[in-house]
């Protein structure tokens, strides 16, 4: 019976981390189904969705993860999922949107925007953030991009007004637009 697992790993960035993890999955007779990887500062972070079969697949993965942690100096965590993931992508009762926020870097931007979205049951499917110095002045400017699934019942006008309130209180710019599916 096919079983699903989520595996995450983090460690100092270096060439070969993806190969190490892909080999771990292959050596455990598992299949890499989906992945997301990034470098944050000097750290490499990855989240993998994989499948495997056999009564001992969880034990094989556990042993292999411990070995890779020791040999490759990665922090690795995996857990079995309860059945097959529900879907890859947008719900049938939601619309894809993208939000961008830009402004002088300050504490609370992600927290306030994310809470506004969560209060409307909006699911964030991907988020990237960065703070970069503005040319000339060197003022740190924060950039945030969020891909999200907005339930059909959410009134876009109300959502935009709530986001405008957040933007005004933080002195940032927030744009929101629907994505063609």
144, pLDDT greater than 60: yes
Residue range 131-151: average pLDDT? 95
pLDDT of residue 181: 62
The CA–CA distances, whole Å, from 177 to 83, 145, 149 equal 34, 12, 12
pLDDT of residue 87: 59
pLDDT of residue 83: 83
Tens of pLDDT along 40-53? 999 999 999 999 99
35, pLDDT greater than 60: yes
pLDDT of residue 90: 52
Kindly indicate the confidence band of residue 122, based on its pLDDT and cuts at 50, 70 and 90: very high
pLDDT of residue 85: 80
Percent of the chain with pLDDT over 90: 92
Tens of pLDDT along 73-119? 999 999 999 988 865 455 568 999 999 999 999 999 999 999 999 99
The span from the CA of 141 to the CA of 159, in Å, is 24
pLDDT of residue 154: 96
Tens of pLDDT along 153-164? 999 999 999 999
User: Would you give the end-to-end CA distance of the chain in angstroms?
Assistant: 33
List domains and CATH numbers for the chain. Answer: 3-80 (3.30.70.260), 94-178 (3.30.70.260)
Torsion of CA 42, 141, 108, 45, to 10 degrees: -20
For the chain, list the strands marked E by DSSP: 3-12, 30-40, 43-52, 75-80, 94-104, 123-133, 140-151, 172-178
């Amino acid at each position: 019976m096919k079983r699903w697992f989520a595996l995450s790993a983090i460690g100092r960035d270096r060439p070969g981390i993806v190969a190490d993890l892909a080999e771990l999955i292959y050596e455990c007779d598992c299949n890499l189904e989906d992945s997301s990887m990034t470098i944050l500062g000097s750290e490499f972070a990855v989240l993998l969705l994989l499948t495997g079969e056999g009564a001992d697949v969880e034990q094989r993965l556990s042993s292999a993860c411990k070995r890779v942690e020791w040999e490759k100096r990665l922090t690795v965590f995996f857990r079995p999922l309860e059945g097959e993931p529900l879907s890859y992508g947008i719900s049938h009762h939601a619309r894809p949107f993208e939000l961008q926020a830009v402004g002088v870097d300050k504490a609370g931007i992600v927290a306030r925007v994310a809470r506004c979205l969560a209060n409307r049951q909006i699911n964030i499917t991907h988020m990237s953030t960065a703070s970069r110095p503005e040319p000339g002045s060197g003022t740190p400017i924060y950039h945030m991009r969020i891909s999200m699934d907005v339930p059909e019942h959410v009134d876009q006008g109300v959502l935009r007004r709530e986001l405008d309130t957040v933007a005004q209180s933080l002195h940032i710019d927030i744009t929101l637009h629907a994505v063609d599916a």
